[in-house]
Amino acid sequence: MIEGYAESEFTWDGVTRPVYRRGQGPGVIVMHEIPGIHPTVIRFANWVVDAGFTVVMPELMGQANRAVTPGYTLGSMLRACIRREFAVLAAHRSSPITDWLRALCRETHRDLGGAGVGAVGMCLTGNFALAMMLEPSLLAPVLSQPSMPFPLGKTRRAALHLSPEELEAVRERARQGCPVLGLRFTEDRWVPPERFETLRREIGDRFEAIEIDSAVSRPSENPAGPHSVLTEDLRDEDGHPTVAARDRVLEFLRERLVDGPRP
């Protein structure tokens, strides 16, 4: 249970998963990071609701509202590595779970109407919003610290977790006017700069990058350095660059889903 959210299930192609929903207005699919829908993911989702959107938040792993601990995170990571829905090392193909997520986009748009829907991915799900661009109703893809494929080796560091056919479809959506917003910390080992360089090369000026100096992290709180731009490492303080990043995400969703897509 998540306070204030209605819980239901969504089934497509024989696969059923829990979905949490709250708000009014255009739909935004919020895809949680590892280890699951933890409290700061919910905090971000609430900001999206407060900005005038309906959050649709599928539970892809973990336990809703469970606090983050090292053991919980490690366990979720190991389970993701062996689940066939998550192709964590695939450089040139997407995870099979993105088919289910595209169906959720279609259902959300049919239910809520409007110009289309948005999608915010984080960490493990960060690049999913790219593959979801094959669904025409997705108008506002946001990639927060897109960590797949896991950056082991030169090829994977630059890869986008898309098949060549999917990448061409993303390029075509971009040519037609669909922008992509990406966020990362500059020294994040899970999201190397080569990945954003690939996005710039493939999408051109339709890719908007927000790269935050990793020095904004407090080393005593996060010795490995900051990673989660919109959740665990967002410092909710006036003037902080992570707050500016969050506000740009909300503005991006508003531009695309409320004000209307621009060519």
241: domain CATH number is 3.40.50.1820
The answer to whether the Cα torsion of 74, 32, 231, 225 is positive or negative is: positive
List Cβ neighbours of 25 (8 Å cut-off, separation of 6 or more): 52, 53, 54, 112, 114, 257, 258
pLDDT classification of 125: cutoffs 50, 70, 90: very high
Residue 53: inside a domain? yes
d(CA 79, CA 75): 6
Residue 1: inside a domain? no
Q: What is the pLDDT at residue 80?
A: 85
Residue 104 confidence (pLDDT) above 70: yes
pLDDT classification of 216: cutoffs 50, 70, 90: confident
Range in 159-173, 186-200, 219-233 the model is least confident about: 219-233
Residue 247 confidence (pLDDT) above 70: yes
In the chain, the percentage of residues whose pLDDT exceeds 90 is 86
Q: What is the pLDDT at residue 83?
A: 86
**Average pLDDT of 7-18?**
96
Position 214, amino acid: S
Residue 239: inside a domain? yes
pLDDT classification of 82: cutoffs 50, 70, 90: confident
Q: What is the pLDDT at residue 261?
A: 60
Residue 210: inside a domain? yes
CB atoms within 10 A of CB 176: 11
Helix intervals (H) in the chain: 39-50, 70-82, 97-112, 128-131, 154-158, 164-175, 193-203, 241-254
In the chain, the percentage of residues whose pLDDT exceeds 70 is 97
**Average pLDDT of 203-232?**
87
Q: What is the pLDDT at residue 84?
A: 85
Domain that holds residue 59: 6-259
Residue 73: inside a domain? yes
Residue 254: inside a domain? yes
Residue 128 confidence (pLDDT) above 90: yes
Q: Encode pLDDT of 130-176 as tens digits.
A: 999 999 999 999 999 999 999 999 999 999 999 999 999 999 999 99
Q: Which two tokens stand for residue 161?
A: 């977790």
Residue 76: inside a domain? yes
The structure's pTM equals 0.95
Q: What is the pLDDT at residue 77?
A: 85
Residue 58: inside a domain? yes
Angle of helix 193-203 versus helix 164-175 axis, rounded to 10: 60
CB atoms within 10 A of CB 107: 18
pLDDT classification of 87: cutoffs 50, 70, 90: confident
Q: What is the pLDDT at residue 221?
A: 67
How many domains in the chain?
1
Query: Average pLDDT of the chain?
Result: 94
Per-residue b or e along 36-45, where b marks 16 or more CB atoms closer than 10 Å to that residue's CB = bbbebbbebb
Let me know: does 110 contact 13? Beta carbons within 8 Å.
no
